Structure 1
């Protein structure tokens, strides 16, 4: 089970186009507004397809959806190479966003159910954490490979390599076990019943509701701030070549955090909340230093954020039962996507008025508030029925 999983997540993120696709767009004549529009198309596609894909995963085959995900992304990259225009890029982003939604929810549900079937559900947090570390390592490796190859080969080789990685990822996904799922009617009523079951469980079962809220609030903030790490790095040094190592340090921190997740699985609520508060303060301190050495602190903070995210996700999987596991997970993913948009908009307002360091500090304060509410077990008090 673990070998196909780690192989899948590695090649799913070993995409040599990642570091240069924004350059690809601008070099083919797209304006900044058009590039921003592409990102909006990507986000909207992911949001609209997140929950429906979870329902399909519960009704049909989770393995089939996980296999299809990188194939759709690879088709999207192919369109970028064949039709390098706004229309081709937009179509590619739609396919990429749909592929990400197909994987979200289905992969976690498939892995947890298989481990549970083998009597090893308690190892889920360790397995998931290691998969996050493998994914972060793949991004680092792809970035390094692109830095070496791109100046020599250009976009065609980056595109072919990215499509090939997607196909290899799909091949690893084909090796996933396909444990039996509760049979569901494949009619409209069957899909509707699964969605109703997932929503009903979140509304009625406090433990699931708590876990969903924690997954959303912990993940959405740092997951969105990650996009601004390069801007903070550029703001924190006058030495241009240092920006890339500073950004890579944060990615390395995320990999370490995934490896730590298994050790954090038994943390009490008070300890986990206290750790979140301390980590928020560490991130704020690193941002305020305005110096490359501050990124050691930011990397450490992102390691802990990754670790707590894995633990929160494992907690959610452990309290969900019944036929709608992938749909519940996708609903949490939808919450992350929507909350992430709020983070992006708020961050933009803060940075417009001040700077990137202030943006990181502002969301560190939000984490401090979350930690206080969490330890007092009031983070979802307003949801109690």
Structure 2
């Protein structure tokens, strides 16, 4: 299964349109306001579909959703390059948002339960950490290849490559093993799985706490990633050098993923220290306004990525019922909502302050989360 997972993770992120799609929108005549509205539409699609799709994954086949999702992404990317216009871009973002919602929750639940079936649930952090790392390598590879492919064939070429990656991703998903009885065959289907997943969150405070930790750790740095190119440009480097410094940041994220297996045993105190250290590194690196500060930002993002994987591990370990994908999707819904809020805050602050200052301000929620984790650790008398 792990070979299939790693291939899926690579193809899922190997999209050559990623580094240039904003340029496609601008070159098609869209204003900054219109482009921002597309990002909001993208996030709202995830908000609306996240939990229902998780319940669907529990009710039917998780593997089914994992291969349908990339097909939707392929359709969206094809629309962008074949009929570039605001409404085509909007439709593409809806399809892309649906793709993300279908995979979110379903992938984590499938991997955890397949590992648990063979008595290897304790390897979940190691396996998912490597999968994240593979995906990040795919992002960096796409950044590196997008330039020459774009120079050779323009937007149609990078679009065709992106569609092909999605189709291969869908084909790879059909190879996932799935040894479970869908709830739709044993209960009353989707509604039952949704109720079961939400009930587990309601009755078990440990599940609720682990669920809330996911958006607290994931959302802010995930939103900041959209603005890293602006932060890097603010250091004074030429535009041609921006992609290379972005690759430094993504290298940090990749290292964070690879450390997940070794760091799985970090207790609450260790996780709190990790979050606090990453927050301080983010603030210090952003405020330097120098290219060297990007190294600290990369270190911070690596810490946040490590904490993101560990938060997912804690959640999966605490879920005991049949609604695993549903509960995981509720956590992802929280992440989407907080991400939208961060976009709004960044938009307000970014119009008055330098990007480095805004990044430093956005480090504060991580210090608050670190204090909350450490306090909860003390209240539980050192027990996890």
Bin for the TM-score computed over the shorter chain: over 0.9
CA contact (8 A) 1:210 1:380 kept: no
CA contact (8 A) 1:373 1:379 kept: no
Partner residue in 2 for 1:273: 272
Partner residue in 1 for 2:47: 47
Greater mean alpha carbon deviation, residues 69-78 or residues 365-374: 365-374
SS of residue matched to 2:363: helix
Greater mean alpha carbon deviation, residues 372-381 or residues 173-182: 372-381
Please report how far the alpha carbon of residue 182 of structure 1 lies from its aligned counterpart in structure 2 after TM superposition: 5.0
Partner residue in 2 for 1:301: 300
Partner residue in 2 for 1:119: 119
CA contact (8 A) 2:232 2:242 kept: yes
Greater mean alpha carbon deviation, residues 24-33 or residues 145-154: 24-33
Please report how far the alpha carbon of residue 199 of structure 1 lies from its aligned counterpart in structure 2 after TM superposition: 1.3
CA distance in 1, matches of 2:20, 2:274: 36
SS of residue matched to 1:73: helix
Partner residue in 2 for 1:286: 285
CA contact (8 A) 2:45 2:98 kept: yes
Greater mean alpha carbon deviation, residues 104-113 or residues 237-246: 237-246
CA distance in 2, matches of 1:279, 1:304: 5
User: How has the CA–CA distance of structure 1 residues 380 and 159 changed in structure 2, closer, same or farther, with 3 Å as cutoff?
Assistant: farther
CA distance in 2, matches of 1:31, 1:348: 15
User: How has the CA–CA distance of structure 1 residues 186 and 28 changed in structure 2, closer, same or farther, with 3 Å as cutoff?
Assistant: farther
Please report how far the alpha carbon of residue 352 of structure 1 lies from its aligned counterpart in structure 2 after TM superposition: 2.1
Please report how far the alpha carbon of residue 238 of structure 1 lies from its aligned counterpart in structure 2 after TM superposition: 4.1
Partner residue in 2 for 1:332: 331
Partner residue in 2 for 1:60: 60
Q: Tell me the alpha carbon deviations over residues 266-322 of structure 1, each in whole angstroms, 9 at most, x when there is no partner.
A: 011112101211111111111111100001111011111101110110110111122
User: How has the CA–CA distance of structure 1 residues 234 and 186 changed in structure 2, closer, same or farther, with 3 Å as cutoff?
Assistant: farther
CA distance in 1, matches of 2:370, 2:112: 27
Please report how far the alpha carbon of residue 29 of structure 1 lies from its aligned counterpart in structure 2 after TM superposition: 2.2
SS of residue matched to 1:276: helix
CA distance in 2, matches of 1:362, 1:375: 21
Please report how far the alpha carbon of residue 117 of structure 1 lies from its aligned counterpart in structure 2 after TM superposition: 0.4
User: How has the CA–CA distance of structure 1 residues 198 and 286 changed in structure 2, closer, same or farther, with 3 Å as cutoff?
Assistant: same
CA distance in 2, matches of 1:92, 1:9: 21
Please report how far the alpha carbon of residue 180 of structure 1 lies from its aligned counterpart in structure 2 after TM superposition: 1.1
Partner residue in 2 for 1:4: 4
Partner residue in 2 for 1:179: 179
Which 4+ stretches in 1 moved above 4 angstroms? 378-381
> 5 Å matches for 1:149-160?
149-160=149-160
2:258 is aligned with 1:259: yes
Q: Tell me the alpha carbon deviations over residues 147-185 of structure 1, each in whole angstroms, 9 at most, x when there is no partner.
A: 122112111111111111011111111110011135335
Q: Tell me the alpha carbon deviations over residues 175-216 of structure 1, each in whole angstroms, 9 at most, x when there is no partner.
A: 1001113533599x5322211111111111011111101111
CA distance in 1, matches of 2:182, 2:87: 41
CA contact (8 A) 1:137 1:255 kept: yes
Partner residue in 2 for 1:99: 99
User: How has the CA–CA distance of structure 1 residues 272 and 378 changed in structure 2, closer, same or farther, with 3 Å as cutoff?
Assistant: closer
Greater mean alpha carbon deviation, residues 102-111 or residues 366-375: 366-375
User: How has the CA–CA distance of structure 1 residues 119 and 182 changed in structure 2, closer, same or farther, with 3 Å as cutoff?
Assistant: same
Partner residue in 2 for 1:366: 365
User: How has the CA–CA distance of structure 1 residues 204 and 77 changed in structure 2, closer, same or farther, with 3 Å as cutoff?
Assistant: same
SS of residue matched to 1:377: helix
2:13 is aligned with 1:13: yes
- Matched residues, number: 380
The unaligned stretches of length 5 or more in structure 1 are none
User: How has the CA–CA distance of structure 1 residues 379 and 222 changed in structure 2, closer, same or farther, with 3 Å as cutoff?
Assistant: farther
User: How has the CA–CA distance of structure 1 residues 380 and 99 changed in structure 2, closer, same or farther, with 3 Å as cutoff?
Assistant: farther
CA distance in 2, matches of 1:135, 1:51: 24
Please report how far the alpha carbon of residue 258 of structure 1 lies from its aligned counterpart in structure 2 after TM superposition: 0.5
C-alpha root-mean-square deviation of aligned residues, in Å? 1.7
Please report how far the alpha carbon of residue 41 of structure 1 lies from its aligned counterpart in structure 2 after TM superposition: 1.8
CA distance in 1, matches of 2:370, 2:85: 46
Greater mean alpha carbon deviation, residues 344-353 or residues 107-116: 344-353
